[in-house]
Amino acid sequence: MNKFKYYFVLLLAGLAIVSCNKNDDDNVVVVPLRDYAEQYKADNDSIEKFLKTNYIVVDKTTFDVKIEKIPAGGTQVSIWDQKEYPLQTRPVYSHDVNYKVYYLSLNKGVGDRPCNFDAVKVAYVGTLLDNTQFDSSYGLAVDLDLNIYAARHAIDGWGEIIPQFNVGTKNPTADDGTISYDGYGAGVMFLPSGLGYYADAQVGIPSYSPVVFSFKLFALKRSDLEYSSSSQATVGDGVPSYLEDINGDGYLYDQRDTDRYPNLPKELIDDTDGDGIPDFMDFDDDGDGYTTRFEISKPSDQIGWGTLNGEPFNYGISLYYPYNPVPDNPDTPNIDETELWGIPSRPSGALTDPSKPESITNPRKYVPEDYTTPGRLRIHLDKKYPYQKN
């Protein structure tokens, strides 16, 4: 997927890029990076003109797309005016610009929705506004990382539009090894250059070009992205990134990235303890001094088979509580991955010593409801648990 390899130009809004051209004195000509807001105005005008002068044909079985310019005197209905796939918009904040991104939903999809830091399996075609194709997966499913901080990642606009769709369902593998999907999400996104490649020209893509992608969303792989600067490795805190979306909007943003988000709106920030680190990048989500990984670790007697209320009970094979209960994976018939309980809330059962007040040395006992009650405040987000020392 060569068009997604390098995307380093968006480091500083005031960064200048160096042209390969030289003047008569053999001095390097420095070309300032264009203003993002001004460029967006031009891009949006171009995109809206494109939508009003081109029409779309969609294969209703495969969701393959053909977009062509309406010829002089043509009777085709423009993308802007057609009603079968109503034109939709999504507000996106980036580089201090409030973008309005146009897209079409050809098929919503039937499975889970990715968040903008998951990896996805997609097929796609990329074109310019003159309908020149610059890239394609040739109808094949390829892996794409929506994480904008990954070494090999998609352009920003993908992470903003793909989470509006759902994945499909995987069919049994054919005798020839072919893998196929049904019910997958499919759409078309029309991206201004500020959410595309901007000044970073690619093969077949001039600088500051708006781009169009038609796509099919087949599957996803969840991420867990807490980063350890000491080990220089992504190790995670045990809670998948999409479940650290506290405001529930389906998107995650790192407010520390002031190049992309110089004034990130508060409603877009997912930061439980307000320490300036979003939960999906924070090892201690609630700021109570205990890592999330520590707080969601199971006691040694709640791994595998044990007892509950005097009866045999299978607590599951994981060393950590999943966010929510997990069903058995049918693809691994020899292993039972069932986890009946999710991350618990603060224990609400009887005190260890009923004659004394609740404290770090006299905690309450967990009861099943602490693991199952909908909407509970899970312990890794509860600043008052584990108990604070007196």
Say how far apart CA 217 and CA 120 lie, in whole Å: 7
What are the residue boundaries of the structural domains of the chain, listed by start? 2-221, 290-390
pLDDT bucket at 231, cuts 50 / 70 / 90: low
Q: How would you label 76-113 residue by residue, b for 16+ Cβ within 10 Å and e otherwise?
A: eebbeebeebebeebebbbbebebebbbbbbbebebeb
Say how far apart CA 101 and CA 156 lie, in whole Å: 12
Write out pLDDT tens, residues 47-75.
Answer: 999 999 999 999 999 999 999 999 999 99
Q: How many CB atoms lie within 10 A of CB 205?
A: 19
Q: What percent of the chain has pLDDT over 70?
A: 90
Q: Mean pLDDT check: name the lowest of 8-22, 253-267, 291-305.
A: 8-22
Q: What is the rounded average pLDDT of the residues 295-313?
A: 91
pLDDT at 340: 92
Say how far apart CA 305 and CA 336 lie, in whole Å: 12
pLDDT bucket at 173, cuts 50 / 70 / 90: confident
Looking at the predicted structure, is the pLDDT value of residue 234 above 90? no
Looking at domain 2-221, its CATH class is: alpha beta
Global pTM reads: 0.87
pLDDT at 27: 65
